[in-house]
Structures are given as structure tokens and as C-alpha cells.
């Protein structure tokens, strides 16, 4: 019996492309996470939260915004923020305009730790991205990934 793409889509180029995206993300995330642990003693999830906070002009976000940015559940994000707060890398602060809302803000120690991690990150990016793709290829990849991340 012959299998067609309709009955067995595993050979469909879209399935292959998605698998490549997942594999690439998993491999790069895993190796970068190991590098962060070895050099900065922080997990990748901590780096991600600190980086998201640094990108904000006021250096703070609501818990739900962090969860959305790092693609975590709200409960998982709360536990993650608890650990970051215990390490003095973030602090919970009351929202000035809504006393019920709590923001998470990066602390000076969090900024220092992120600076340390970003130095490791830049070296990692040079080894695993810049040295393997031309400037034009990086621009194309950036454009394509940005397009895929846009809301429909």
C-alpha cells in the first residue's frame, strides 16, 4: 500500500520546517542554558525574565505580562518570580495607579547578574549564530521569524 502526503503528512515540507524550528530551538536553548549555568549560575528561565524586565523602559512588568513574554503558565511564573525574588534579582512592587496590581521589577543585583549573563550570551551568539550565518542570512532569518511571531 502506497502512502500519500494526505494520509501520512510526515513528509510534508511544512511538517519538516516546523520540526527544524523545534529542533533548532531546543538545541540552542539547551546548550545556552548549560553555558549560563556554568558561567553565571542562573537558569535560562531567570535570564529570560531579567531580559524581559530590562527591555521595559520602567524596568517592570505585571506578572501576566511576564508569563506571556516568556510563554509560561501564570502559576509557573509566580513560582519562578518567587525564586528570583529570594535571590534578590527582582522585587515585587505595588502598582502606583492600581493598589490591587503588583509589578515585578528588576533590582540592581538583577541588573548586575543580567550584565554578566549578557556577556556570556554575546560570546555564545558569536559562536553559534554570527559565525555560521552571514549578515544577510541573519537579516532574512530575523525578518522571517518576526513575521511568524506577528499576530494573525
6 in any annotated domain = no
Give which of 103, 7, 30 is closest to 64, Cα–Cα.
103
1 in any annotated domain = no
Q: 8 falls in which pLDDT band (50, 70, 90)?
A: low
- What is the number of domains present in the chain? 1
Higher pLDDT, 138 or 75: 138
152 in any annotated domain = no
**Average pLDDT estimate for 122-132:** 95
In what helix (H) or strand (E) does residue 67 lie, and over which residues does it extend? helix 63-70
78 in any annotated domain = yes
Confidence at residue 70, expressed as pLDDT on a 0 to 100 scale: 86
The region of weakest confidence among 23-32, 69-78, 102-111 is: 69-78
Query: Rounded to two decimals, what is the model's pTM?
Result: 0.83
Is the pLDDT at 100 greater than 90, yes or no? no
Pair 58, 41: CB distance under 8 Å:
no
Q: 2 falls in which pLDDT band (50, 70, 90)?
A: very low
150 in any annotated domain = no
> Residue 130 sits in which domain range?
16-145
Confidence at residue 7, expressed as pLDDT on a 0 to 100 scale: 63
Question: 116 exposed, middle or buried (CB, 10 Å; 0-12, 13-18, 19+)?
Answer: middle
Return the CATH number at 41. 1.10.10.10
25 in any annotated domain = yes
How, if at all, do strands 90-94 and 102-106 pair?
Answer: antiparallel
Average pLDDT, the chain: 90
51 in any annotated domain = yes
2 in any annotated domain = no
Is the pLDDT at 4 greater than 60, yes or no? no
Amino acid at each position: 500500500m502506497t502512502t500519500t502526503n494526505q494520509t501520512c503528512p510526515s513528509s510534508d515540507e511544512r511538517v519538516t520546517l516546523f520540526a527544524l524550528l523545534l529542533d533548532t530551538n531546543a538545541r540552542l536553548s539547551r546548550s545556552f542554558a548549560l553555558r549560563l549555568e556554568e558561567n553565571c549560575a542562573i537558569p535560562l528561565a531567570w535570564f529570560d525574565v531579567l531580559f524581559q524586565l530590562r527591555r521595559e523602559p520602567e524596568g517592570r512588568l505585571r506578572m501576566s505580562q511576564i508569563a506571556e513574554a516568556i510563554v509560561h503558565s501564570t502559576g509557573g511564573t509566580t513560582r519562578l518570580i518567587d525564586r528570583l525574588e529570594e535571590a534578590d534579582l527582582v522585587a515585587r512592587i505595588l502598582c502606583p495607579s492600581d493598589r490591587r496590581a503588583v509589578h515585578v521589577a528588576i533590582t540592581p543585583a538583577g541588573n548586575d547578574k543580567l550584565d554578566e549573563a549578557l556577556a556570556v550570551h554575546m560570546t555564545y551568539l558569536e559562536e553559534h549564530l554570527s559565525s555560521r550565518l552571514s549578515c544577510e542570512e541573519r537579516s532574512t532569518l530575523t525578518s522571517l521569524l518576526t513575521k511568524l511571531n506577528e499576530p494573525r
